[in-house]
C-alpha cells in the first residue's frame, strides 16, 4: 500500500512516527522544511530566538517512512495525484493530508500587506529582528508594536515581547516599546473561564501591555492600524510593527468533486478521520473538520492534531493488516497559556469531566510537561 503523508506538523509527524516497517506498506513523508517546528513555541523564538525546531530525518529512523523535502502545489483526490512545486507528480493508494493552516486576514484592507504573521520560523525570525533593531541605538522609527488577536498566540506573544523589552531596556538604557493587544471580541482568551482569564489579564497589565478589547481593526497601513469600537468610534494607532494572530483557515490545496468543506475551509471527515466520500484520504490537524462527542468541531490545537495523527498512523497499520479501523474520540486534556518566564495559567482535566485550575509556576511546569509528552511521542 503506497502511502503519502503530506506535512510534518504536529499531525503529520505523529502519523509518520507511529508507523513501522511492514510487508505491503510503502510510506513517504513530504514536507517543505527539513525540520519540524514546535508552532506552540514560536512566540519564544520571536522574543528570545529560542530554538523551536527538530530535524525530521532522525525522527523517522525505525519507522520505514521515507522523507522527501518538497513543497506541495496541489492535491487532486479524484485522480489520486499530488503535484509538487518542482513539477513532479506523486501517486498514492492511501493519502494523509496534514498541511496545516494559513493566516486568515478576513479581508481587512491593508492587513495582509503590512502585518507580520506568526505561523512559521521565518515569521519569528522577522519579529526577533525588529526587536533587536529597535534596541540597536540607531533606530529612529516608531518603536511600538500592535498585536491583533487576543487568543492563545497573541497573548503568549505579547507577554514574551514585554519580558524581552524589559531585559533590553535595562541592559541598554533605552525605554521599552509600547505593546498594544487589540481584540475585536469582548475579552481576551475566551477559551479560559473567567477567573483564569482575569488572572491572565492582570499579568498582562502588570507588564504594561495596553489591552484594547472590543476594538476591531478595520484598516492597516505600513505604520498604523485603524480600530473601531462597538459604538463606532475610530482611532488610529501608530506602530513600527504590526502582527496579526487573529485567525486561521485551512489551506485551499485539496481538490475533489465530492469533497465537503465546512467553516474555515476545513475538510469534513468521517469518524475515522477520512474525507467524506474519499475513504482513501485521511485529513488530520487544522485542515480536517472532525467532530467531538457533542457534534461540535474539534479545536485546531496541537494536542488534538497529535491525537489525530497517532490514531491515523495506527489505522494505516490496521489497513495493511486487513483489520477494522478505530474511530476517533477526541479528548481535551487541558489548556495552558504561557505568560512569560515561569508564569502560566490554565486547567487540566480530572475524572468525571471536572477541571482543575492551575496558575503560576505549577501551571508553567504543566505546560512544559505537555511539550515533553509530545517530544516523547515522536522519538
Instruction: Please write the tens of the pLDDT for every residue from 147-206.
Output: 999 999 999 999 999 999 999 999 999 999 999 999 999 999 998 999 999 999 999 999
- Is 243:127 a contact under the CB 8 Å cutoff? yes
CA–CA distance, 155 with 5 (Å, rounded to integer): 32
What pLDDT digit, counting tens, does each position of 339-356 carry?
988 899 999 988 877 888
Catalytic residues: 156
Q: Do the domains at 2-103+249-332 and 121-246 have one common CATH topology?
A: yes
What CATH number is given for 121-246 in this structure?
Answer: 3.50.50.60
CA distances from residue 125 to 85, 119, 224 in whole angstroms, order as listed: 25, 11, 21
| CATH for 2-103+249-332 (3.50.50.100, 2.40.160.60, 3.30.360.10, 1.20.59.20) | 3.50.50.100
Count of residues making up the chain:
379
Give the mean model confidence (pLDDT) for residues 352-371. 88
Q: How far is CA 194 from the centre of its chain?
A: 24
d(CA 7, CA 268): 18
- Angle 101-252-302 from CA coordinates, rounded to 5°: 20
Percent of the chain with pLDDT over 70: 100
Contact assessment for residue 217 and residue 108, using Cβ atoms and an 8 Å cutoff: yes
Q: What does the mean pLDDT of the chain come to?
A: 95
CA quadruple 44, 102, 267, 320: dihedral sign: negative
pLDDT of 87 strictly over 80: yes
Distances (CA, A) of 17 to 155, 175, 290, 303: 31, 47, 22, 16
Cβ-proximal residues to 188 (8 Å cutoff; 6+ apart), any chain: 150, 154, 155, 181, 197, 200, 201, 204, 211, 213
What residues does each domain of the chain span?
Answer: 2-103+249-332, 121-246, 333-378
Mean pLDDT over 47-61 rounds to: 96
**In this structure, how many other beta carbons lie within 10 angstroms of the beta carbon of residue 361?**
12
Q: What value does the mean pLDDT take over residues 56-70?
A: 97
Has this prediction a pTM greater than 0.75?
yes
Is residue 267 scored above 80 in pLDDT? Answer: yes
pLDDT at 133: 94
The cell numbers describing 276, all together, are 467524506
pLDDT value at 88 more than 90: yes
Amino acid at each position: 500500500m503506497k502511502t503519502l503523508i503530506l506535512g510534518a506538523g504536529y499531525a503529520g509527524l505523529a502519523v509518520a512516527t507511529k508507523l513501522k516497517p511492514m510487508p505491503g506498506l510503502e510510506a513517504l513523508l513530504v514536507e517543505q522544511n527539513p525540520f519540524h517546528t514546535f508552532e506552540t513555541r514560536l512566540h519564544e523564538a520571536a522574543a528570545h530566538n529560542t530554538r523551536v525546531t527538530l530535524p525530521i530525518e532522525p525522527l523517522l529512523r525505525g519507522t520505514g517512512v521515507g522523507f522527501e523535502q518538497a513543497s506541495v502545489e496541489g492535491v487532486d483526490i479524484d485522480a489520486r495525484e499530488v503535484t509538487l512545486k518542482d513539477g513532479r507528480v506523486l501517486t498514492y493508494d492511501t493519502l494523509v493530508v496534514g498541511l496545516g493552516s494559513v493566516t486568515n486576514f478576513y479581508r481587512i484592507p491593508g492587513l495582509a500587506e503590512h502585518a507580520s504573521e506568526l505561523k512559521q520560523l521565518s515569521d519569528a525570525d522577522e519579529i526577533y529582528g525588529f526587536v533587536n533593531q529597535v534596541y540597536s541605538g540607531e533606530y529612529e522609527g516608531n518603536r511600538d508594536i500592535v498585536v491583533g488577536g487576543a487568543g492563545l498566540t497573541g497573548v503568549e506573544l505579547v507577554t514574551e515581547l514585554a519580558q524581552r523589552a524589559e531585559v533590553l531596556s535595562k541592559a541598554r538604557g533605552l525605554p521599552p516599546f509600547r505593546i498594544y493587544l487589540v481584540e475585536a471580541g469582548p475579552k481576551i482568551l475566551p477559551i479560559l473561564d473567567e477567573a483564569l482569564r482575569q488572572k491572565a489579564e492582570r499579568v498582562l497589565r502588570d507588564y504594561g501591555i495596553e489591552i484594547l478589547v472590543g476594538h476591531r481593526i478595520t484598516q492597516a497601513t505600513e505604520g498604523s492600524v485603524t480600530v473601531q469600537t462597538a459604538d463606532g468610534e475610530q482611532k488610529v494607532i501608530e506602530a513600527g510593527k504590526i502582527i496579526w494572530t487573529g485567525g486561521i483557515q485551512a489551506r485551499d490545496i485539496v481538490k475533489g468533486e465530492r469533497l465537503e468543506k465546512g467553516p474555515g475551509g476545513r475538510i469534513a471527515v468521517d469518524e475515522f478521520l477520512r474525507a467524506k466520500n474519499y475513504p482513501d484520504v485521511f485529513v488530520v490537524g487544522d485542515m480536517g473538520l472532525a467532530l467531538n462527542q457533542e457534534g461540535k468541531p474539534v479545536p485546531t490545537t496541537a494536542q488534538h492534531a497529535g491525537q489525530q495523527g497517532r490514531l491515523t498512523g495506527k489505522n494505516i497499520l490496521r489497513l495493511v493488516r486487513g483489520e477494522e479501523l478505530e474511530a476517533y474520540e477526541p479528548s481535551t486534556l487541558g489548556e495552558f497559556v504561557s505568560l512569560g518566564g515561569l508564569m502560566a495559567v490554565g486547567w487540566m482535566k480530572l475524572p468525571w469531566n471536572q477541571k482543575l485550575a492551575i496558575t503560576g509556576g505549577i501551571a508553567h511546569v504543566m505546560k512544559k510537561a505537555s511539550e515533553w509528552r509530545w517530544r516523547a511521542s515522536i522519538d
